[in-house]
Structure 1
Amino acid sequence: MTEGWIAIAGLGPGDEMLVTPQVTAALDAASDIVGYIPYVARIAPRAGLTLHPSDNRVELDRAAHALDMAAAGKRVVVVSSGDPGVFAMAAALFEALETGPAHWRNLDIQVLPGITAMLAASARAGAPLGHDFCAINLSDNLKPWPLIEKRLRLAAEADFAMAFYNPRSKARPEGLARVLDVLREACGADRPILFARAVSTPQEELRIVSLGEARADMADMRTMVIVGSSLTRIIDRPTRPILYTPRSAV
């Protein structure tokens, strides 16, 4: 039996040009691809490759399946969008590894980084994350809303720029509205906020407004939301404006 391995790989924000050569090499060497349905759909079928798409709510089952296949000698790539270590499959796989059979710990496991939606959106807009910032997942599926609100208020008090993942879904249509209310109370209405949807794809849309103008329906699950700090600035110009945060807080 050949020795199996696992690579947990980030496919980037959408444009195939933003997939790293390291990830491409792992995909080319794989015997099996495991991941959420739309991410696996980004992988071209070929002879000798088996695709294992699954629902987004079965991360631990998906991770255990990948570990079992690698233990059986398969060359497995677990795919995430963006970077696999940012609110994605790397943590889920290690949760399964920690509580699973002891022999899983002998596997060759690598995490292959990718370009996150947060960084892709920031680059498109300019450099809103140019100084200290934090990233917060707004989904309350795995943590309670009071904890999300506490972190929002503390980040606002610390004057971080903030990048929000999973801002709004059909199951959580009211969550982002509550977030915007908290931020307006903590930061005022003038803070710039970026709504960057489907960055690097043909459906890309960027919108920069103030917190006072922001509405929850400006975002969906394909949108990255970045709120500036008190230092974040907008450079107006004839084409798209530039949003950036200066390097100095002095």
Structure 2
Amino acid sequence: MGVLPLQSHDNGGKLYIVGTGPGELLQMTPRASKALEEADCIIGNGFYLDLLGPMLAGKEVIRSGMGREVDRASRALALAGERVVAMVSGGDAGVYGMASIVLEVAERSGTKVAVEVIPGITAAISAAALLGSPLSGDYVTMSLSDLLTPGEEIERRLDLAFQMRVPVVLYNPRSRGRPHNLDAAVAIARRHLSDATPVGVVRNAYREGEERLITTLGEFEDHFAFVDMHSIVFIGGEETRIWRDETDERGIITPRGYHRKYVY
């Protein structure tokens, strides 16, 4: 296959699929901000739209709820035939976000609308920064939502991930409708990791109500009530450890391996 040229949008229409990052506007990339400025119509889930605040001023705003992703993608593509439209997706649109379904709908419909995916800071990266450096090397991300992936398949993948003994980041860890998915994930982790393995949880990263929790795998079950769908859970690998600075502030670090090569 050869190099594919970018589609022209000489007719004035274009669809941006914008990763808006964790929520705070300062954490949004300049390219994402520019795409939102260019758009005359912004469409997305109401939760993520509300985080954009003043960036919505003067725009047509179309709100959509959870479970309406296919309809949202179809409508955005239709509007982008003659207008500049921004489809917003929290974090990075290509990581558990809207990019894949928009591109699938575009492919199946045969539309000629120009589509550009704008990257954003995904939740694992933003939340990791608030914990220290838990993802310094190899790691795995997994979503515990079984709305699109069967529960048995999620558990199979989790078992393989924890066998690697690298940090595992859990998206969509615990909802009111699926409170036991986290229990199952932790039970699988404990088959392969010691109870002393560090666990970190960040809730509402870079948004109002931001909180974090640092505990261990053996004690994590006592803190399940802290975890919700606005949380990201980090289960450390075999080298991950909890560190403290001079003020006794705790964080999590997974050494990358410099200690095996250098003296410092």
State the TM-score, normalized to the length of structure 2: 0.89
**Matching of residue 181 in structure 1 with residue 192 in structure 2:** no
The aligned residue for residue 118 of structure 2 is 112
SS of the counterpart of 2:220?
coil
Look up the match of 1:46.
Answer: 57
Aligned to 2:93: 84
Question: 1:23 maps to what in 2?
Answer: 32
Q: What's the CA shift for 1:34?
A: 1.0
Aligned to 2:67: 57
Instruction: Say if 2:38 is the partner of 1:35.
Output: no
- The secondary structure found in structure 1 opposite 2:213 is strand
Q: Which residue of 2 aligns with 1:241?
A: 250
Pair 1:68-2:90 in alignment:
no
Q: CA deviation at 1:95?
A: 1.7
Q: Which amino acid aligns with 2:229?
A: M
Measured against aligned partners, the alpha-carbon deviations of 1:104-158 in whole angstroms (never above 9, x if no partner) come to 1x22211111111110111111110001101001100001111111111101111
1:131-210 aligned at under 5 Å gives the runs 131-210=137-216
**Structure 2 counterpart of 1:23, which letter?**
A
| Residue identity in the other structure for 1:27 | L
Is the contact made by 1:127 and 1:244 (CA closer than 8 Å) also made in structure 2? yes
Residue 185 of structure 1, CA deviation: 2.1
1:219 aligns with 2:230: no
* Structure 2 runs not aligned, ≥5 long: 1-9
- How many residues align? The count is 245
Partner of 1:234, secondary structure, is: strand
Cα deviations across residues 53-108 of structure 1 (Å, max 9, x unaligned)?
1111011110010011112x0101000111111100001111211221x2x1x222
Partner of 2:22: 13
Equivalent pairs: percent with the same residue? 34
Q: What is the deviation of 1:178?
A: 1.4
Asked if structure 1 preserves the Cα contact closer than 8 Å seen for 2:162 and 2:188, the reply is no
Hey, what's the Cα distance between the residues in 2 that align with 1:122 and 1:87? 17
CA distance in 2, matches of 1:46, 1:154: 47
Q: What SS does the aligned partner of 2:154 have?
A: helix
- Alignment of 1:126 onto 2:135: no
What is the CA–CA distance in structure 1 between the aligned matches of 2:135 and 2:88, rounded to whole Å? Answer: 26
Query: Deviation digits for residues 168-221 of structure 1, max 9, x if unmatched?
Result: 111111111111111112223111110111111231111111101002322101
Matched residue SS, 2:16 = strand
Structure 1's 32 and 108: CA in aligned 2 closer, same or farther, altered over 3 A? same
Q: What is the alpha-carbon distance in structure 1 between the residues aligned to residue 108 and residue 163 of structure 2?
A: 37
Q: 1:60·1:95 contact (CA, 8 Å) conserved in 2?
A: no
Moved over 3 A (4+): none
Once the 2 structures are TM-superposed, how far is the Cα of residue 239 of structure 1 from its aligned partner? 4.1
